[in-house]
Chains A and B, each alone.
Chain A
Amino acid sequence: MAIGVILRALNRRIDPNPKSQIFSLASASRSVSTLVLAEHEGGAVKAPSISAVEAAKSLGDDNSISLLLAGSGSSLSEAAAHAASCHPSVSQVLVADSDKFAHPLAESWAKLVHLVQQKGSYSHVIATSSSFGKNILPRAAALLDVSPITDVIEISSSHLFLRPIYAGNALCTVKYTGGGPCLLTIRSTSFPVSPLLADSKSNEAPISQIDLSTFGEDSVGNSRFVKVTSQDSERPDLANANVVVTGGRGLKNAENFKMIEKLAEKLGAAVGATRAAVDSGFVPNDLQVGQTGKIVAPELYIAFGVSGAIQHLAGMKDSKVIVAVNKDADAPIFQVADYGLVGDLFEVIPELLEKLPEKK
């Protein structure tokens, strides 16, 4: 009701400039409403998904943001409660509770997004550029016959976006001109949520269950979840850590890589690696930072024995402060480093371990 009144008022508003009147009418009739696909784990919405809400906020002032959660059981309802108060801009939480969503399979998720989009006619659908978002969103876009936009790092207006191409060596401004909903995955490090905001519990958004009666058995698709092998780690999540310590080929073997881990522990940092370090089997591949691995933008990024290939730089060059330690004074990493130290990492790391202050 209230929204209808506002819309009518907007439509009736007369502007002395005829050109801008057309524009304001067009933008009013195309008022922004966003569906955010949220990932949750252990009864809470994941931090990058809250960044997606932050991104949605910049699409327009009168944006009504709905968070979509799917899964089953008690962890889903806990996550829904968390979603309702995770960000003041969330106006609604939609919950799809079914065994079909017990695992984030693209087949059922894409159908769900299609169903929810048909009911809600959102102008935008946003997910994070995580393996979850990249797996599901393009499939949903194909079902809706629209072109999705990957890895958005800046939202200029409701239909104008900035995204990196060529491993971050060029930035492309794209305009969405299609008639359907605009589907985006956003780079969460580009849309930081202020910690104050994350703690506010002032308004709780209403939670509603999605009617899945029209969600047929055939929507499950022909794929089955078998298992997930997760890397247990007590250190902070690589994509969201404040400090990242990375090792490259220069570490020589997995045993030496433990020095990086020790240093990370001391700094309360996450551990990253280059493709060379991963391919040589020093560390598991989910630690890879780069064009094809994780994109990080921490406060402090320290690279040991990393040459700085363009594919690696693509994943870390938005870090606030970059430190490089390398024997080779000509290594390209020194061109992006704020502080470079030409030296043997086998001498530098132990010295750092000894001299660095204990973390608070």
Chain B
Amino acid sequence: MKIMVAIKRVIDYAVKIRVKPDKSGVETKNVKMSMNPFCEIALEEALRIKESGMASEVVAVSMGPTQCVDTLRTGLAMGADRGIHVEATGALLPLSVAKLLRALVEVEKPGLLILGKQAIDDDCNQTGQMVAGLLNWPQGTFASKVVLDKEKQAVTVDREVDGGLETLCLDLPAVITTDLRLNQPRYATLPNIMKAKSKVIKKFSPQDLNVEIKSDLEVVQVTEPPKRKAGVIVSSVDELIDKLKNEANVI
């Protein structure tokens, strides 16, 4: 069985972002970019499944501008067997990404598609659910544990839901999106980074895949959130209780 993992290139999670003065978006020039943390977890999970002998190949795919190849190389250095880059300029909405993924699934025929539960830039939390809907595959979102049963061709997924954990059993092929607690992604070692350079990254264009990139959402403006008023530092517990009682009226 083949596993396909979708990875996204985003501004590094530790970077304090800056909104562009013209309010058209967030500054991405000369800003450190990395693989979306949830995508790292998705890739790690695919690699672990392969290492346990349940999968034959891990294919990493990424969509977007040329620089996505760097992100794919990182994925290959972690251990993915090969990469696919769908080169697309301009904004890609989750619906377009889901359609491109569906087209790639039809080419590659993986038994499992793993994605992160959300990208930390747009915070959408949509792509996995959408591609599952388009493919009519079952979905296991916000997974914190994945157990594959090769004989039954099924996968058991523990999902992090409000108020606890939910366990589902999905028939393969299926879509899984990963939560933070699924695993601890590995670091790529230097020899593996060198090896990754000789691994294949295949290029597609949306036209090759017969996917029309359209948009039904328009970003009107991006602004900074309102700043909170500076607070005060109190010197004792008594003062704190007094302020909460008499100034803020919250207790």
Contact = CB atoms under 8 A, between A and B. Distances in A.
A57 to B, nearest CB: 22
B250 A339 contact: no
B interface majority secondary structure: mixed
Given A131-B161, A142-B98, A338-B232, A164 B131 contact: no
A336 B228 contact: yes
Contacts of A143: 133
Contacts of A168: 225
B55 to A, nearest CB: 19
Interface string B64-91: 0000000000000000000000000000
A323 B95 contact: no
B135 to A, nearest CB: 9
Contacts of B164: 228-231, 284, 286
Interface in A141-199: 141-143, 145-151, 160, 164-180
A320 B165 CA distance: 30
Interface string A121-149: 00000000011101111111111011111
Interface string B224-251: 1100110111111110110111001011
Interface string B161-178: 111111111110010000
A267 B237 contact: no
Contacts of B138: 107, 221-223
Task: Name the interface size band of chain A.
Answer: 35 or more
Interface string A17-52: 000000000000000000000000000000000000
User: What is the predominant secondary structure among interface residues of chain A facing chain B?
Assistant: mixed
B245 to A, nearest CB: 8
Interface stretch (A203-211, A246-254, A351-359): A351-359
Interface in A259-285: 267, 275, 278-279, 284-285
Contact of A227 (B126, B144, B167): B167
Contacts of A299: 250
A286 B237 contact: no
B126 to A, nearest CB: 4
Nearest to B137: A222
A283 to B, nearest CB: 13
A169 B19 CA distance: 9
Given A138-B94, A286-B163, A340 B125 contact: no
A235 to B, nearest CB: 12
Given A172-B222, A226-B169, A323-B240, A139 B160 contact: no
Interface residues of B, number: 82
Nearest to B124: A150
Contacts of A150: 123-126
Contacts, number: 252
Interface centre among B118, B144, B162, B233 (most CB of A within 10 A): B162
29 contacts: A106-B141, A131-B141, A131-B161, A138-B127, A138-B128, A139-B132, A141-B126, A142-B133, A147-B215, A151-B123, A165-B123, A166-B26, A167-B120, A170-B26, A170-B224, A173-B223, A175-B218, A177-B217, A177-B218, A223-B138, A224-B169, A224-B170, A225-B166, A226-B169, A228-B165, A229-B166, A243-B251, A286-B164, A321-B250
Given A170-B223, A322-B231, 5 more contacts: A143-B133, A151-B123, A167-B123, A223-B140, A284-B164
Interface of A: 105-107, 110, 130-132, 134-143, 145-151, 160, 164-180, 221-231, 237, 239, 243, 267, 275, 278-279, 284-286, 291-292, 294, 299-300, 310-311, 317, 320-323, 329, 334-342, 348, 351-352, 355-357
Interface of B: 11, 13, 16-17, 19, 26, 93-95, 98, 117-118, 120-134, 136-142, 144, 156, 159-171, 174, 179-181, 215-225, 228-229, 231-238, 240-241, 243-245, 248, 250-251
